[in-house]
């Protein structure tokens, strides 16, 4: 996944992490890799490139309080706009429902139009939070 992040543009990393990240601390790497499929669920999208698998995107949710999890995605630039985020979202929503979660939330920069489209198509509702630089999205899981 770190190699995939290295193949994303500065703009894409800023849209995902809210800052133009160039690298990750050891504690950030530990957090991203500590997936337990209960409170921290992560999925990747892979392609076959010249006989080897290559990660081209990933999505995850992290439980932030009982019944609620925050969702986030990244797709490397060369594969954006091909429906990878939509597929990852579909699987994460289903996983969250099966896990008994009640709500998924996401924080998105206003200029991240591709993520906003993915969330809107998945049924998320948007609202402004206390920070005018961030849009808040939520999806009730019935």
pLDDT bracket for residue 80 (50, 70, 90)? confident
Comparing 100 with 132, the larger pLDDT belongs to 100
DSSP 78: G
Provide the mean pLDDT of the chain.
85
Whether 86 has a pLDDT exceeding 90, the answer reads yes
Statement: the pTM of the whole predicted model exceeds 0.75: yes
pLDDT tens for residues 4-17?
A: 565 666 666 555 55
What's the mean pLDDT in 55-84?
Answer: 91
What's the mean pLDDT in 83-90?
Answer: 94
For the chain, what percent of residues have pLDDT higher than 70?
Answer: 82
What is the structure's pLDDT at 38?
94
Q: Across-strand partners of 127?
A: 136
Residue 18's SS3 state is coil
CA distances from 89 to 14, 40, 49, 138 (A): 20, 15, 23, 13
What is the structure's pLDDT at 24?
67
What is the structure's pLDDT at 132?
80
What is the structure's pLDDT at 25?
72
What's the mean pLDDT in 30-58?
Answer: 88
Using alpha carbons, select from 104, 109, 106, 113 the residue that is nearest to residue 132: 109
């Amino acid at each position: 996944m770190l190699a995939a992040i290295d193949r994303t543009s500065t703009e894409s990393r800023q849209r995902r992490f809210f800052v133009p990240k160039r690298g990750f601390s050891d504690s950030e790497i530990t957090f991203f890799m500590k997936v337990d499929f209960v409170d921290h669920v992560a999925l990747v999208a892979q392609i076959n490139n010249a006989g080897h698998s290559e990660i081209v995107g990933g999505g995850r949710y992290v439980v932030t309080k009982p019944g609620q999890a925050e969702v986030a995605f990244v797709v490397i630039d060369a594969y954006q706009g091909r429906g990878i985020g939509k597929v990852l979202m579909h699987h994460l929503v289903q996983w969250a429902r099966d896990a008994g979660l009640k709500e998924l939330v996401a924080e998105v920069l206003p200029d991240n139009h591709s993520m906003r489209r993915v969330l809107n198509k998945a049924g998320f509702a948007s609202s402004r939070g206390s920070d005018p630089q961030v849009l808040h999205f939520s999806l009730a899981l019935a």
